């Protein structure tokens, strides 16, 4: 049985690490990193078959962060799982450091694909899933895209490929936080109705609250039961989730908090963490 309280705690810890590393780097993308904390927690602490002691295990499930600019979130969860020392997080974007501004599969343990150019990641994920089918391997492939990212034509070519080859070992997760660097996705280049378009392309489609673990896991479970077509999960999220002044604010797409802003964010996130700990203590006492 999944411990949802523990998973919520891990997601809260991710958010603290994300904000700290971007503040120390004085550069990065906090908004979209914070919005996928629950999704990455669910993947790496439950859904994915992976082992930090064997990051290149051929039998492992693959994960591709197609929205590569949100690498801080991926780095935070990889450190949490033990792929590398957590102290590496505080060197984000520094010259000579392991953790670059975008994921680098050659330099960072646990990264399955180098990404950053939007649309590239899902294309690679499709190739991985097709390769598994061709080789008769049973690993699964998961990828997270931003809703702004799906304005890219390359994304729809990849989706067409996935459906044509019936890649039921592929799960495409759309981080639908509604914002991109220039403002509202619907104002910059409206991509709705996303669910109808994905269904028309031949996907099994689920829509979930991207901050609700029960809904996320239900969608993952449904994906594993789906045969002969790929799955798309539209995860409704809040950009900048967990930090009051960042939430649903496009200006925090690619801005680093200064010292005062970081301190406010840290206090807010630590308050969330303390509340979760109190709930866990109460649950423990009640057993």
Interval 163-207: pLDDT, tens: 999 999 999 999 999 999 999 999 999 999 999 999 999 999 999
**Percent of the chain residues past pLDDT 90, beyond the cut:** 97
User: CA 203 → CA 5, 65, 75, 231, 243, distances in Å?
Assistant: 32, 20, 29, 5, 34
Q: Which residues contact 217 (CB under 8 A, 6 or more apart)?
A: 2, 42, 46, 47
Q: Identify the pLDDT of residue 286.
A: 76
Q: What is the pLDDT of residues 183-194, one digit of tens each?
A: 999 999 999 999
pLDDT category of residue 285 using cuts at 50, 70 and 90: confident
Domain, as residue range, for 104: 4-285
The answer to whether residue 284 scores a pLDDT higher than 90 is no
Q: Identify the pLDDT of residue 283.
A: 84
Among 50, 53, 73, residue whose Cα is nearest residue 142: 50
Among 252, 173, 160, residue whose Cα is nearest residue 219: 173
Among 77, 85, 95, 38, residue whose Cα is nearest residue 220: 38
* CATH number where 249 lies: 3.40.50.970
Count of domains observed in the chain: 1
Q: What is the pLDDT of residues 140-150, one digit of tens each?
A: 999 999 999 99
DSSP run (H or E) holding 21 = helix 4-25
Q: Identify the pLDDT of residue 147.
A: 98
């Amino acid at each position: 049985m999944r411990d949802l309280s523990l998973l919520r705690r891990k997601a809260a810890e991710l958010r603290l690490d994300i904000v700290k590393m971007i503040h120390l780097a004085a550069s990065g993308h906090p908004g979209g990193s914070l919005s996928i904390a629950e999704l990455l927690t669910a993947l790496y602490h439950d859904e994915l078959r992976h082992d930090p002691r064997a990051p290149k295990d051929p039998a492992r499930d693959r994960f591709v962060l197609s929205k590569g600019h949100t690498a801080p979130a991926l780095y935070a969860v990889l450190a949490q799982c033990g792929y590398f020392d957590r102290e590496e997080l505080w060197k984000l974007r520094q010259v000579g450091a392991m953790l670059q501004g975008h994921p680098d599969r050659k330099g960072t343990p646990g990264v399955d694909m180098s990404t950053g150019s939007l649309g590239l990641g899902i294309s690679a994920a499709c190739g991985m899933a097709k390769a598994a089918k061709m080789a008769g391997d049973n690993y699964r492939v998961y990828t997270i895209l931003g809703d702004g990212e799906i304005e890219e034509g390359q994304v729809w070519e990849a989706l067409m490929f996935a459906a044509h080859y019936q890649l039921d070992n592929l799960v495409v997760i759309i981080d639908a936080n509604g914002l991109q660097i220039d403002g509202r996705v619907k104002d910059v280049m409206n991509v709705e109705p996303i669910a109808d378009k994905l269904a028309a392309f031949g996907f099994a489609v689920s829509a979930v609250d991207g901050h609700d673990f029960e809904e996320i896991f239900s969608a993952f479970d449904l994906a594993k039961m789906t045969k002969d077509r790929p799955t798309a999960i539209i995860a409704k999220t809040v950009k900048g989730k967990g930090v009051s002044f960042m939430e649903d604010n496009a200006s925090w797409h690619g801005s680093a908090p200064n010292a005062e802003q970081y301190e406010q964010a840290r206090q807010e996130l630590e308050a969330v963490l303390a509340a979760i700990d109190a709930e866990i203590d109460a649950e423990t006492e009640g057993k």
